[in-house]
A and B are shown apart, each in its own frame.
Chain A
């Protein structure tokens, strides 16, 4: 009865995720993608990193590896799935979530702390927060600009599938507070079910008190059983 953290060649936040979850008392283990998910998996983390060296597009190769068929099946059965950074790119490339995370508006890799506004507090990932609460979590990506057609984005917004937006200190999603040019400042979204979420910021890097803010803990608690 453990959470599986799926390691691809080039994943590099898998151990951070494992340590952060251990700190929260959530049993988790790293699973090599070729070994598949264990039968009793209680949650899945698609961790950050540079799976397959970002060849073709970030997340494109990992999204088409056989374990992702198992992840999609688990997600359809209600198993919570969290994609972080490269895991978010994998999530969108695999169809777990809609849209795409592509080249930052700056065309640069960006590593900084950002403010996020919690758009919904009634999901497993955000139950620890209030709607509209501002949390601080780091980003570290070159391809995090959320892209999708305007029509489809409007539908996702109507359906309440936007989970986090980049915002300023007042909670306003201003262009200046948007680090990568994401459409409508989208930082994280939900899949078909609320139990599937992806986000570019790194909650596992904002969980251990030794390394700074701990606002990411609540997101990881979505994997608690």
Chain B
């Protein structure tokens, strides 16, 4: 078994309104920053042990499918690194 960190990034699907990001963008503009757009995402770092990268990825994928992301509004990606 090898120790891995699986990083799951969950973001809103393209086209789904993100009012919190819009409010954050406006606040940055009020502070004088220039920017075109701002997107927010949630990042989960999962420490786990698995037989290999593929097994670690598969488990993290299932975590995203079953809880961390809501497929109606979210896309997600998973990156796995040895720790």
Contacts and interface: CB of A to CB of B under 8 A. Distances in A.
Interface of A: 56-57, 60, 64, 92-93, 98-100, 102-107, 145, 147-149, 181
Nearest to B20: A107
Interface of B: 16-20, 22-23, 66-68, 70, 72-73
Given A107-B23, A147-B16, 8 more contacts: A93-B70, A103-B19, A104-B19, A105-B19, A107-B19, A145-B17, A145-B19, A147-B73
A120 to B, nearest CB: 23
A103 B24 CA distance: 14
Nearest to B21: A107
In order of increasing CB-CB distance, the 4 nearest A-B pairs are A107-B19, A100-B72, A107-B23, A103-B19
Nearest to A61: B67
Contacts of B68: 56
Contact of A100 (B20, B66, B70): B70
B73 to A, nearest CB: 5
23 contacts: A56-B68, A57-B70, A60-B67, A92-B72, A93-B70, A98-B72, A100-B70, A100-B72, A100-B73, A103-B18, A103-B19, A104-B19, A107-B19, A107-B20, A107-B23, A145-B19, A147-B17, A147-B72, A147-B73, A148-B72, A149-B72, A181-B17, A181-B19
B70 A105 contact: no
Contacts of B67: 56, 60, 64
A99 B72 contact: yes
Contacts of A103: 18-20
A64 to B, nearest CB: 6
Contacts of A102: 16, 73
Nearest to B24: A107
A99 B16 CA distance: 12
A110 to B, nearest CB: 12
A148 B23 CA distance: 22
B3 to A, nearest CB: 25
A122 to B, nearest CB: 27
A98 to B, nearest CB: 8
A131 to B, nearest CB: 28
A168 B68 CA distance: 37
B24 to A, nearest CB: 9
Contacts of A99: 72
Contacts of A145: 17, 19
- Best-buried of A56, A64, A181 by chain B (most CB within 10 Å): A56
Nearest to B44: A56
A104 B19 CA distance: 7
A106 B73 contact: no
A104 B73 CA distance: 14
A145 B72 CA distance: 13
Contacts of A92: 72
Nearest to A150: B15
